[in-house]
Amino acid sequence: MTPELSVVVLDYGLGNIRSAQRALARTGVEVTVSVDHDEAVAADGLVVPGVGAFAACVDGLINIGGDKIIAERVAAGKPVLGICVGAQILFTEGVEHGRRVAGCAQWPGVVEELYARRLPHMGWNTVDAPQQSKLFGGLADERFYFVHSYGVRERARPALGEAVVTWAEHDGDRFVAGIEQGPLSATQFHPEKSGTAGARLLQNWVASL
Amino acid sequence: MSLAVRVIPCLDVHDGRVVKGVNFENLRDAGDPVELAARYDAEGADEVTFLDISASVEGRQTTLEMVHRTAGEVFIPLTVGGGISSVEDVDTMLRAGADKVGINTAAIHRPELIGEITRRFGNQVLVLSVDARREPEQPSGFGVTTHGGRKPADLDAVEWARRGVELGVGEILLNSMDADGTTGGFDLEMIRAVRAVVDVPLIASGGAGQASDFPPAVAAGADAVLAASVFHFGTVKITEVKQALSDAGYPVRN
């Protein structure tokens, strides 16, 4: 019998982590909600959730040393999955109401308000995933649940180099919907709220642990 | 690529139980929120909304437990409205597992509450629920009501929606009290009037009687459509609404 995989959902005070916890548990992994450094570093997988403002999430994350946990895991090749604002904070910086806040800088890119008539971008949208994406394997033409006003916009020309980038589009503005590079993955949408498609995506991630 | 029109069933809950009969076959317990939310999820609902009508503190506590249980089993977005009157109420609901929270009367009494909530949790968590009816004395011709449409708030509904967005709400739930329960179709004129002044997502509610009632609401400017009794009694299935929307050329989630 293979030993059960362990996943830690990083609890830094922001976000509805219960859904993420339960959705991951359904993939068959052992899920722990924790802020403990050693536990978060040791787990087979780490999920970084997040809702609300970029600055507040970065503050919360740094408060518990989450930025260091992420950096240590990535350096050691251990998988991390960021969700929504938990994905955004993996980029260089965020700009909200003219204020710049540094992120974890795992990827180059600025998180800024989308150029769209209708904001927040709220609801089920399709994505444009490249063939080599592992996260979106078997998920062509599926819709995922987004709820956000900010993102990493294609028109800002983020230098994402080797990363496997999945794009989504709202009111003509394209932005990063998913990104994968080595041990680091992230989705702008909420897989834990995206029904069976989201469950399949989480399964794909767990399969990579 | 574009967003799908969201189809949202709304359930009234009292003391942690779904009330106002829901008439599905093969339900073990017609009042169990988890079972009902799961059923709507399976039928293709894009979100589920619970309207908490509990009057007591104990009742609200039981509702919280219900939200907690539902969020642990049903993996589509969950909005909870009814009786939300403070930042703490929102915090409690989100911690229980709600993704969005609806406010209504408390925001009318104290509009600053909107900013207090959205500064802490972001505007995407807050839905301003506007119960409106035709009131010729209001500049727009539509007025806000409270207490389930019984009391006029002496407030122009279109102006209130605009102000709510200015104060920070991320979404408007526009419920026509004139059309509510009539099954004669949505109040398209009201939807158009509010759409003209807000850029946030707009959910149309009130008056749906058949699947063909839904596409005109979207044409009038709604991003999402919400209904209660027609879904609960099986008069209209969510799949039929989506088919009607799709036939009219609107994107839906299959």
pLDDT in tens, A180-206: 999 999 999 999 999 999 999 999 999
Write the pLDDT tens digit of every residue in A43-98.
999 999 988 889 989 999 999 999 999 999 999 999 999 999 999 999 999 998 88
Residue B169 lies in a domain: yes
- Give the closest-approach CA distance of A193 to chain B in angstroms: 4
Calpha distance B99→B67 (Å, rounded)? 10
What is the number of structural domains in chain B?
Answer: 1
**Pair of tokens at residue B166:** 């200015």
Question: Mind telling me the catalytic residues of B?
Answer: 12, 131
Tell me if B75 and A169 make a contact (CB, 8 A cut-off). no
Residue A137, classified by CB atoms within 10 Å of its CB into exposed (0-12), middle (13-18) or buried (19+), is middle
- In whole angstroms, give the CA distance from residue A64 to residue B126: 27
Residue B253 lies in a domain: no
The pTM of the full predicted model, rounded to 2 decimals, is 0.95
Q: Residue A67 is encoded by which pair of tokens?
A: 């930025």
Does A173 contact B at CB distance below 8 Å? no
Q: Do B77 and A193 touch (CB under 8 A)?
A: yes
Name which of A31, A3, A1 is nearest A17 in CA terms.
A31
A124 touches chain B (CB under 8 A): yes
pLDDT value for A52: 82
Cβ burial of A41 (10 Å; 0-12, 13-18, 19+) is: middle
Residue A195 CA from chain centroid, whole number:
17
Under the banding of pLDDT at 50, 70 and 90, the label for residue A3 is: low
The pLDDT score that the predictor gives to residue B27 is 67
Return the pLDDT at A121.
Answer: 97
Count CB-CB contacts under 10 A for residue B196. 11
- According to the 3-state scheme, what is the secondary structure of B50-76? EEECCCCHHHHHHHHHHHHHHHHHCCC
- How far B137 CA lies from chain A's nearest CA (Å)? 31
- When pLDDT is cut at 50, 70 and 90, the band that residue A147 belongs to is very high
Distance CA A148, CA B100 (A): 12
Task: State the residue range of the domain holding B196.
Answer: 6-248
Distances (CA, A) of B211 to A1, A206, B176: 51, 40, 18
Mean pLDDT, to the nearest integer, of B10-18?
Answer: 90
CA separation for the pair A94, B29 (Å, rounded): 47
DSSP state of A2: P
What mean pLDDT comes out for the span B199-226? 97
pLDDT at B149: 78
Asked if residues B219 and B245 have their Cβ atoms less than 8 Å apart, the reply is no
**pLDDT, position A50:** 86
CB neighbours of residue B227 within 10 Å? 26
- Whether A195 and chain B come into contact, CB under 8 Å, resolves to yes
Chain B residues with CB under 8 Å of A94 CB are: none
Measured over the CA atoms of residue A15, residue A16, residue A20 and residue A25, the dihedral's sign is: positive
Give residues with Cβ within 8 angstroms of B64, minimum separation 6. B92, B93, B96
Whether B161 has a pLDDT exceeding 80, the answer reads yes
Return the CATH architecture of domain A6-207: 3-Layer(aba) Sandwich (3.40)
Q: So what's the pLDDT on residue A157? A: 95
Domain ranges of chain A: 6-207
A57 is catalytic: no
Q: What per-residue confidence (pLDDT) applies to B1?
A: 59
Say which residues have a Cβ less than 8 Å from residue B26's Cβ, sequence separation at least 6: none
Chain A nearest C-alpha distance from B115 (Å): 13
Please enumerate, as own/partner, the contacts of B138-145 that have beta carbons within 8 Å and a separation of 24 or more. B140/B193, B141/B193, B142/B190, B142/B193, B144/B108, B145/B177
Is A198 an interface residue toward B (CB < 8 Å)?
Answer: yes
Q: Identify which of A22, A127, A195 has the shortest CB distance to residue B72.
A: A22
Single out the residue of A21, A18, A17 nearest to residue A29, CA to CA: A21
Q: Domain for residue B49, yes or no?
A: yes
ipTM surpasses cut 0.85: yes
Do residue B77 and residue A145 have CB atoms under 8 angstroms apart?
yes
Whether B11 is covered by a domain: the verdict is yes
- List alpha helices for chain B, DSSP H: 33-42, 57-73, 87-96, 105-109, 112-121, 157-167, 188-195, 214-219, 229-232, 238-247
Residue at B254 is within a domain: no
Provide mean pLDDT across the span B13-42: 82
Q: How far is A2 from chain B (nearest CA, A)?
A: 26
In A, minimum Cα distance to B195 occurs at A118
Interface test with A, best of B218, B253, B254 (most A CBs within 10 A): B253
Within a domain: B104: yes
pLDDT in tens, B74-104: 999 999 999 999 999 998 999 899 999 999 9
Nearest-angstrom CA–CA distance, A40 and A27 = 19
Q: In this complex, is the C-beta atom of A169 within 8 Å of any C-beta atom belonging to chain B? A: yes
Residue range A149-166: average pLDDT? 96
**Nearest by CB to A128, which of B1, B4, B76?**
B1
Domain CATH for B111 = 3.20.20.70
From chain B, the residues in CB contact with A143 under 8 A are 4, 253
pLDDT tens digits, one per residue of A8-52: 999 987 667 888 999 999 999 999 999 999 999 999 999 999 888
Higher pLDDT, B19 or B75: B75
Residue A71 burial class via C-beta count within 10 angstroms: exposed 0-12, middle 13-18, buried 19 and up: middle
Residue A186's H or E segment, with its range, is strand A184-187
Interface A–B counts its CB contacts (< 8 A) at: 100
Query: Is A176 in contact with A167 (CB distance < 8 Å)?
Result: yes
Q: Is residue B145 assigned to a domain?
A: yes
* Residue A1 pLDDT level (bands cut at 50, 70, 90): very low
* Gap between the Cα atoms of B127 and B100, Å rounded: 7
Instruction: Indicate if the pLDDT at residue B222 is higher than 70.
Output: yes
Write out the two tokens for A32.
């722990």
**Six token digits for residue A147:** 């709820």
